[in-house]
Structure 1
Amino acid sequence: MGPCGCGKSTVGNSLAIRISWPFIEGDDYHSDKNRVKMSMGIPLNDEDRLPWLQSLRNELMQHKNAILACSALKKSYRNILSSSNDVNDPTRTLFVLLSANKSLLQKRVSERRGHFIHPSLIESQLETLESFGEDEKYLVIDASNSLTDITQQIMNTLST
């Protein structure tokens, strides 16, 4: 999870291959309307995101384990994604925040080809990003680390 350009898809794909879990690309579940808004640099609001988050939650519920690449910037969004999980269940949703500074995000987004996210959305996503709550299971990783290191950190956390 994290803002655009932090490496969600790259890390998610790598991790899915390493641990043989299904990978769900959150961007694939956006409506055409949302894609158009984001391509124009218009941030999505909670109303725009709700059907998208519900679709992602429904997809997650189809799998025993899965890896989801999704911004999940607000606690309320993460609550929707993990709403089928029991807080006392040690296997509940692990949120992995790929933390990156604004300049790294801008560099990565500007180098993308064929993606609908407008670079101006970085700022609004950073402003929207909320800290984790005490009831959330999470891991924060520096997104500037190597893909191998990031993947290994997540695997180490999943195995504990």
Structure 2
Amino acid sequence: MRTPHVVVVMGVAGTGKTTIGPLLAARLGVPYAEGDDFHPQANIAKMSAGIPLDDEDRWPWLDAIGAWAHGRTGLGGVVSSSALKRSYRDRLRAAAPGIVFVHLTGDRELIEDRMAHRQGHFMPTALLDSQFATLQPLQADETGVAVDVAGTPEEITARAVAALDALEPTSPSVP
């Protein structure tokens, strides 16, 4: 049996990271950590006010996620993080080499509609444009997969598991 990896479920706001992350963790038999829980209160206040975070805001947040991922190295885990820029993913990989990314992708209209209908989240739909403007999709030298978010959470999770299984020798074991 191969050692499980730490999987970062990434993507713009509204793609379903908080929904798919726990489902994926359950399928992989590893713990889940909600990336939003690693934000300092100042970041949450800024986003709640409709102000996009800048890199200086994000570094401590990414470092906290990276520390969690580092602690799960060799044990496996799933954590959500927008990880929109290559530099953010590089920072996470520096903290926990071997991270695998699941990039949730989808049609902007679908994502905006889902954001408009979710309850109790601090990220307003108004920030979606800034998220798409910042997004740098996974590059060929980054270990990860892109998964379309059309369909039910169970369908999306099944596609993520299948895509992870299809990765060459670094794929996590699925019970």
TM-score for the superposition, normalised by structure 2: 0.83
SS at match of 1:140: strand
Deviations, residues 51-74 of structure 1 (Å, cap 9, x unaligned)? 000000001111121111110000
Q: 1:149 & 1:114 partners in 2: Cα distance?
A: 24
Pick from 100, 107, 126 the counterpart of residue 101 of structure 1.
Answer: 107
Q: 1:123 & 1:10 partners in 2: Cα distance?
A: 21
**Which residue of the partner structure matches residue 125 of structure 1?**
131
**Which residue of the partner structure matches residue 12 of structure 2?**
3
Indicate the RMSD between aligned Cα atoms, in angstroms.
1.4
Flag as ranges the 4+ runs of structure 1 deviating above 6 A.
none
What is the CA distance between 1:124 and its match in structure 2? 0.2
Q: 2:125 & 2:164 partners in 1: Cα distance?
A: 32
Q: 2:164 & 2:103 partners in 1: Cα distance?
A: 14
Structure 2 unaligned spans of 5+: 1-9, 167-175
**Which residue of the partner structure matches residue 53 of structure 1?**
62
Structure 1 unaligned spans of 5+: 87-91
Q: 1:84 & 1:53 partners in 2: Cα distance?
A: 9
SS at match of 1:79: helix
Q: 1:151 & 1:113 partners in 2: Cα distance?
A: 22
CA contact (8 A) 2:67 2:96 kept: no
**Which residue of the partner structure matches residue 155 of structure 2?**
149
What is the CA distance between 1:97 and its match in structure 2? 1.1
Opposite residue 91 of structure 2, the aligned amino acid is: I
Give the 3 Å change call, closer, same or farther, for CA 159–100 of structure 1 in structure 2.
closer
Q: 1:115 & 1:104 partners in 2: Cα distance?
A: 17
Opposite residue 80 of structure 1, the aligned amino acid is: R
What is the CA distance between 1:152 and its match in structure 2? 1.6
Of residues 37-46 and 95-104 in structure 1, the stretch that sits farther from structure 2 once superposed is 95-104
What is the CA distance between 1:159 and its match in structure 2? 3.0
SS at match of 2:94: coil
TM-score for the superposition, normalised by structure 1: 0.91
Paired-residue identity, %? 38
What is the CA distance between 1:85 and its match in structure 2? 4.8
